[in-house]
Structure 1
């Protein structure tokens, strides 16, 4: 019961509070992976639970302080920890499944060997073990111009080239989802049996303008969210050929990588006025930088049109070598 990209935008846009929008995005965004090698988590067991959650989110949007107190912790400097806090709040206070425990450590001879993200019970009594992953990977082509060739998971790399989708996928399946089957977990006394499920959200970025010509890896979800990436030189050339571009460009800090943000008219006009300085700064980037483009709609409001990464000119060569190291 997740939403496609256009439906997701309309759903999230009904909420004004940034933190509520991020929670709604996590609950309704399409999964990065398709059902197959691992069972996928579904936040709602029925249409009634989905509808009740939307009503609950609307009420939370009107009075979001409890969510802020829970999730807006200065110690949450990692996006994954922030996302965990949002799902934990939903499971503890929302109208769907009931939270039993979160962040349950497993230890072997005083050494921590893993941590179960969420243990919960569904309305029908099923005991579920959810592992949460929120990932943002850039696709690097190694097909020698053959666009019809299907990508591999190893072609999806983290922007800083410290993570790769095939590596994360393997760890999720062989280690994290297996935690509730270990003897160390049985010793903790949580009555089972437990069904392990993967709660995986995020966005994949393709070279150019969305990668419609790329055949995704077989494991990738059919409706996964897409973005684009360009090198700094390609970005400069694209901007120089768009003299009438009235988009407002915003650099997205990591903690704003989930739901789209709202941009008021005054802020947008300021960004447009400063567009040359913003473009020059991005053209000189020394690290991959996520940006969002806002365009004026028919009503004169600025809405997020797309997201992408500007990467240094030498990044594709280094990314291709990182992807090839999987062979």
Structure 2
């Protein structure tokens, strides 16, 4: 029961800088550059990174992305050669490619290890110099956290789908360990002349219980932690038992999203999905598929727009029925 009949795209689907781009890898890069940060600034150490310092640099980047979309061969070749399996590594490669080939800041060094007495103290993700001459130390992270709390608004309530990561712990590690690396005495011996300004480049999605996500869609107050940027990318999560009732009226077609497709909202040009072997299925078929998964599974809902493109309407995690209780316990550890 895999054949899906196209339907009209709801008018509420938002526009963004990446919506006019066709190539998935270019859309992912644009999303990395333009999507809202997950966090607000956390001064004095946790300042936010930006790929642009001026409106001219912003305009130049948009024009550059459109040119890249017309001929993405070099980017596609380099990404394929990297044989990527981890989302974070994929994001690193995209950002490094932009810093090496784009029209704004330039890359000085990437993945710079800092050692003392043979022990690795840490690694700086990116050392960057802007066109204005500022020297920046960027720490990049792309995270997907699910909100596992109740009415409390705490960063600890945002947990990784596999319950091995937590947003409050990640932020503490950034502020207390990763961002200060370039200011350590040992760093000066590496030959990268500073001083370096540490900045966070933190992107991703936060997923909320289905009812909470629906209330936000209706513009009802959310009461989220003060550390989080209110404009962050949002999705939903629901249990396997509750998902079918929601899925039946939410979309015309569904897909399980592989990990390397967790960045930009997905869009498939007419005929591209078939050529790439991508299968869209109805809710019943997807439910049968995720029933055999041991952990949370990210899925996306799709509709067809007026140009015949499959366009992502929303995304979320389907979790085992016992996951919420385990997640709440992990959040309180």
How far, CA to CA, are the matches of 1:203 and 1:33 in structure 2? 11
**Residue 254, structure 1, aligned to residue 263, structure 2:** no
Query: What secondary structure sits across from 1:116 in the alignment?
Result: strand
Structure-2 residue corresponding to 1:222: 230
Q: Does 1:77 align with 2:85?
A: yes
User: Structure 2 vs 1, CA of residues 270 and 173 (structure 1 numbering), >3 Å: closer, same or farther?
Assistant: closer
Gaps of 5+ in 1: 144-148
How much has 1:108 moved relative to structure 2? 1.1
Higher RCO by CA contacts (8 Å cutoff, separation 6 or greater) = 2
Listed as ranges, the matches of 1:211-290 within 5 Å are 212=216, 213-239=221-247, 242=248, 247-264=252-269, 271-272=280-281, 275-290=283-298
CA RMSD of aligned residues (A): 2.1
CA distance in structure 1 between the aligned counterparts of 2:187 and 2:156, rounded to whole angstroms: 31
Deviations 1:257-315 (CA, angstroms, capped at 9, x unpaired):
0012223566599634x542222222453210000000233555431100100000000
Q: How far apart, in 1, do the equivalents of 2:233 and 2:251 lie?
A: 25
Deviation at 1:110, TM superposition (A): 1.6
1:46 aligns with 2:48: no
* Mapping of residues 134-153 of structure 1, within 5 Å: 134-143=142-151, 149=152, 151-153=153-155
Q: Deviations over 1:181-240 (max 9, x none)?
A: 11110111211111000000001000015262531111001200100000000013334x
Match of 1:183 in 2: 185
CA distance in 2, matches of 1:46, 1:235: 45
Supply the distance in 2 between the matched residues of 1:220 and 1:107 (Cα, whole angstroms).
32
Contact 2:125 2:139 in 1 (8 A): yes
For the residues of structure 2 that align with 1:245 and 1:176, how far apart are their CA atoms?
41
Equivalent-residue separation in structure 2 for 1:51 and 1:6 (angstroms): 24
Residue 98 of structure 1, CA deviation: 1.4
Deviations 1:142-180 (A, max 9, x none): 33xxxxx4x111000000000000010000011100000
Q: 1:99 to 1:245 in 2, by over 3 A?
A: closer
Counterparts of 2:169 and 2:238, CA distance in 1: 24
Equivalent residue, structure 2, for 1:315: 323
Who is 1:32 aligned against?
A: 38
Give 4+ residue runs of structure 1 displaced > 6 Å after superposition: none
Please list the CA deviations of residues 52-85 of structure 1 after superposition, one character each: whole Å capped at 9, or x if unmatched.
Answer: 0111111111111211222223532111111001
1:119-158 matches, within 5 Å, as 119-143=127-151, 149=152, 151-158=153-160
2:17 maps to which residue? 11
User: Following the alignment from structure 1 to structure 2, what is the Cα–Cα distance between the partners of residues 42 and 100?
Assistant: 16
Q: Which residue of 2 is the match for residue 146 of structure 1?
A: none
Mapped pair 1:22 → 2:31: no
The answer as to 2:302 corresponding to 1:306 is: no
CA distance in 1, matches of 2:105, 2:13: 27
Contact 2:13 2:313 in 1 (8 A): no
Report how many aligned residue pairs link the two structures: 310
Rounded to whole Å, the distance in 2 between the matches of 1:101 and 1:13 is 31
User: Which secondary structure state, in structure 2, belongs to the residue aligned with residue 201 of structure 1?
Assistant: strand
- The 10-residue stretch of structure 1 (230-239 or 189-198) with the greater mean CA deviation from structure 2: 230-239
- The answer to whether the 8 A contact 1:232-1:284 is kept is no
Question: Tell me, what secondary structure is at the counterpart of 1:85?
Answer: helix
Decide which moves more: 274-283 or 251-260.
Answer: 274-283
Task: Report the secondary structure of 2:190's partner residue.
Answer: coil
> TM-score, normalized by length of structure 2?
0.87
Stretches of structure 2 lacking an aligned partner (at least 5 in a row): 1-11
1:99 Cα deviation from its structure 2 partner: 1.1
Alignment check: 8 A CA contact 1:285 1:311 kept: no
CA contact (8 A) 1:102 1:118 kept: yes
